[in-house]
């Protein structure tokens, strides 16, 4: 069979795109292709499970628009389909006078993005929400929440498959090449060929490689950064109610370590952010010669390193030192002890990195011939997934000539 559309990548963005395209166009035969044996097995299944508010993102950017719209859609989807979630709110706290101007800037961004219910709160009000948190003030963000992103991904795919009996999911099929002729593309996989008229790539950590296989001339490269988490032990869990975030450092491209209550009741602390020698490497010792060569022969990687030398060294030291990790957490919750922490899991995030060493901050989604490529979908892509799926479906309906 030749499918109308093949979606390559079974993370939450791929599944949401499948769901949106299929439910809006039930007549189409769509294939979802994933190299792992289950969906959501990389960035989606290893992130912190937070429903982001849209507080930090440049007003008018794809990130801001899709995060805010996607958050509303995701919460409604979770309610309708019984996905574990809780819109519990979070506090962003300042612990040093130097952070107050940055906190004010974030708050103003939140107001411009019309984040509902946000307000500045005093140190005493922070304590009413998080009794063990010491701060000099903060921002209350009531619309932030937590969710089971794996469960949401599975449900999106399930609903898409139910809408069209001839659509199919191909798990364990790694895409190795794309061959094109005038009318269709042949997707060469590790378990045989799949034919499709049009393609959508949602390949996350491998977005740049698959774009090149499809003939896209991409100047940027994906570089992976691992984030390690600790969990609170039973004796420490009572010190965190929901979510506590620091004021992010504007010079560093990550939000900083934070506390997150998960939907299963565990409390995670993290993540840090260290360069990883393997794009899908979740251990401190994970190594891939191909991935390392790819990243370390790219000038953008070295420019990022040099720009963030001090941060990078500190992150690496903290990755191998529980004591240093604890010290960072104690800035917000001083009563935490070594016995309150135990090693947790890790995730890897894909950063699309320019040759100048700048991380491409906004989402990047491009049309190329008979394909759409989601080239950059960093956090909050999981929160924004249904909105991104709708955005991709809009492009597909226009560029692929689909009937609405």
* Nearest by Cα to 107 from 97, 93, 124: 93
The pLDDT tens digits of the residues spanning 58-115 come to 999 999 999 999 999 999 999 999 999 999 999 999 999 999 999 999 999 999 999 9
Instruction: Provide the pLDDT for residue 368.
Output: 95
Whether pTM exceeds 0.75:
yes
Comparing 99-103, 187-191, 314-318, which segment has the lowest mean pLDDT? Answer: 314-318
What are 339's two structure tokens? 């016995």
Residue 250 has pLDDT above 90, yes or no: no
Instruction: Provide the pLDDT for residue 361.
Output: 85
What are 193's two structure tokens? 């060929």
Report domain extents, the chain: 2-45+150-220+361-399
Per the CB < 8 A criterion, the answer to whether 348 and 280 are in contact is: yes
Give the mean model confidence (pLDDT) for residues 45-55.
95
Compute the distance between CA of residue 207 and CA of residue 221 in angstroms, rounded to an integer. 9
DSSP per-residue string spanning 33-101? EESSSSSS-STGGGS--EE--S-SSPTTSHHHHHHHHHHHHHHHHHHHHT--EE---EEEE--SGGGHH
Instruction: Provide the pLDDT for residue 230.
Output: 96
What are 277's two structure tokens? 């020698």
Which CATH class, in words, describes the domain spanning 2-45+150-220+361-399? Answer: alpha beta
Number of Cβ atoms within 10 Å of the Cβ of 27:
11
Per the CB < 8 A criterion, the answer to whether 357 and 237 are in contact is: no
Residue 316 has pLDDT above 90, yes or no: no
Q: How far is Cα of residue 388 from the mean position of the Cα atoms in its chain?
A: 12
**How high is the mean pLDDT of the chain?**
95
Residue 309 has pLDDT above 90, yes or no: no
* Nearest by Cα to 343 from 260, 283, 285: 283
Percent of all residues in the chain with a pLDDT value above 90, rounded to a whole number? 90
DSSP summary character for residue 359: B
């Amino acid at each position: 069979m030749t499918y109308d559309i093949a979606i390559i990548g079974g993370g939450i963005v791929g599944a949401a795109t499948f769901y949106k395209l299929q439910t809006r166009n039930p007549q189409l035969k769509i294939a979802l292709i994933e190299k792992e044996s289950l969906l959501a097995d990389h960035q989606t299944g290893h992130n912190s499970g937070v429903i982001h508010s849209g507080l930090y993102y440049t007003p008018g950017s794809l990130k801001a628009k899709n995060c805010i719209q996607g958050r509303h859609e995701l919460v409604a989807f979770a309610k309708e389909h019984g996905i574990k979630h809780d819109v519990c709110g979070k506090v962003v706290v300042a612990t040093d006078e130097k952070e107050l101007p940055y906190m004010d800037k974030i708050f103003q961004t939140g107001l411009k993005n019309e984040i509902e219910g946000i307000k500045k709160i005093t140190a005493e009000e922070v304590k009413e929400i998080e009794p063990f948190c010491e701060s000099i003030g903060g921002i209350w963000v009531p619309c932030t929440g937590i969710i089971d992103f794996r469960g949401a991904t599975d449900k999106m795919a399930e609903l898409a498959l139910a809408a069209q009996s001839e659509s199919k999911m191909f798990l364990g099929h790694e895409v190795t090449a794309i061959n094109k002729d005038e009318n269709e593309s042949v997707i060469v996989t590790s378990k045989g060929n799949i034919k499709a008229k049009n393609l959508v790539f949602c390949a996350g950590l491998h977005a740049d490689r698959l774009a090149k296989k499809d003939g896209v001339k991409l100047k940027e490269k994906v570089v992976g950064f691992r984030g390690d988490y600790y969990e609170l032990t039973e004796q420490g869990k009572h010190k965190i109610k929901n979510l506590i975030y620091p004021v992010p450092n504007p010079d560093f491209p990550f939000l900083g370590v934070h506390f997150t209550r998960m939907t299963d009741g565990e409390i995670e602390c993290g993540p840090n952010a260290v360069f990883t020698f393997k794009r899908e490497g979740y251990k401190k010792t994970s190594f891939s010669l191909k991935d390392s060569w790819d990243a370390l022969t790219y000038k953008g990687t070295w420019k990022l390193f040099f720009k963030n030398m001090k941060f990078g060294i500190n992150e690496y030291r903290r990755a191998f030192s529980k004591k240093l990790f604890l010290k960072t957490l104690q800035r917000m919750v001083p009563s935490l002890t070594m016995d309150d922490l135990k090693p947790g899991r890790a995730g890897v995030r894909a950063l699309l990195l320019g040759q100048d060493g700048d991380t491409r901050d906004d989402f990047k989604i491009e049309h190329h011939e008979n394909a759409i490529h989601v080239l950059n979908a960093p956090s909050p892509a999981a929160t924004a997934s249904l909105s991104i799926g709708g955005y991709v479906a809009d492009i597909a309906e226009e560029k692929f000539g689909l009937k609405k």
